[in-house]
Amino acid sequence: MQQAFVPAGPGRARVAVLISGRGSNMAALLAAAADPAYPAEVVLVLANKAGAAGLETARAAGVATAVVESRGFKGDRAGFEAAMQAELDRHGVELVALAGFMRVLTEGFVFSWFGRLVNIHPSLLPSFPGLETHERALAAGVRLHGCTVHLVSPGVDEGPILAQAAVPVLADDDADSLAARVLAQEHRLYPAALAWLAAGRVRLEGGRALVVADGAQGALANPLP
């Protein structure tokens, strides 16, 4: 069994959060990491758009920010990722958390960060990878919907699942009301799952991630209610 992330020492793991927009999940991670007992610190918020609203939130919280404009690298994903990697290196980043980051990463980048690269997706994977998950969940008539935090493998919204939270789909839901119910769970789930990873509690077995139990919390992969 392989350990996904092995902490370098007793200090907190150095995390970069990658965003493209609003950054509410990033804000949830910053809030969790404001507690010195949290096993990770956010040392960098990196956006691929200068206009990403979350950058302001990060600056206001006193966190270092960087912008690598993906627009400037049209057709040159490797160049874009090399520029991102340079920022990650400059800040001594050990773990990368994608939080509404709207660029597909190359296999090379994903493999080089495997086990140390996480994503949050607004569905119960493997159902509804990709975009417009809430619309598709409503159209499919599912009774349960939710969100997933997973290690990133090559392939969109693929990789070993760390944690999931489920919410009911109500009869009068529209995509906005359902998205809001899921988002509230995202903000609880992502800090919990990142903490497990940062603390070195995630093991990989076959294609699955196992969270090493630490009392009740380790068994509690779904934090509802």
Task: Give the residue from 160, 146, 158 showing the smallest Cα distance to 196.
Answer: 160
CA distance 144 to 124: 8
Query: Does 25 help bind ligand GRF (rule: CB under 6 A)?
Result: yes
Residue nearest to ligand GRF (CB): 100
Q: How far is the CB of 157 from ligand GRF (least distance, A)?
A: 9
Using the structure block, give the residue that is written with the tokens 């997973």: 150
Which C-beta is closer to ligand GRF: that of 100 or that of 115? Answer: 100
Q: Is 39 one of the binding residues for ligand GRF (CB under 6 A)?
A: no
Give me the least distance between CB of 113 and ligand GRF, in Å please. Answer: 17
The residue within the footprint of ligand GRF, chosen from 13, 44, 99, 197 (CB under 6 A), is 99
User: Does 97 interact with ligand GRF (rule: CB under 6 A)?
Assistant: no
Of 7, 21, 39, 146, the one binding ligand GRF (CB under 6 A) is 21
What is the size of the binding site for ligand GRF (CB under 6 A)? 15
Name every residue whose Cβ is closer than 8 Å to that of residue 103 and which is 6 or more positions away in sequence: 20, 48, 70, 80
Residue 40's SS3 state is strand
Within positions 128 to 187, which residues make up the interface with ligand GRF, using CB under 6 A?
147, 183, 186
Q: Is 100 in the site for ligand GRF (CB under 6 A)?
A: yes
Figure out which of the listed residues 13, 14, 17, 23 binds ligand GRF, where binding follows CB under 6 A. 23
- Residue 118 φ then ψ, to 5°: -120, 160
From the candidates 91, 121, 145, 187, give the one annotated as an active-site residue.
121
- Phi and psi, residue 186, nearest 5°: -55, -40
Q: Which residue has the tokens 């006193």?
A: 62
CA distance 78 to 84: 10
Torsions phi, psi of 7, nearest 5? -60, 140
CB of 1 to ligand GRF, least distance (A): 28
Could you tell me the CA-to-CA distances from 79 to 70, 76, 105, 121 in Å, in that order? 9, 5, 12, 26
Contact residue for ligand GRF among 55, 118, 120, 198 (CB under 6 A): 120
Contact positions vs ligand GRF (CB under 6 A): 19, 21-26, 99-100, 120-122, 147, 183, 186
Supply the residues annotated as catalytic.
121
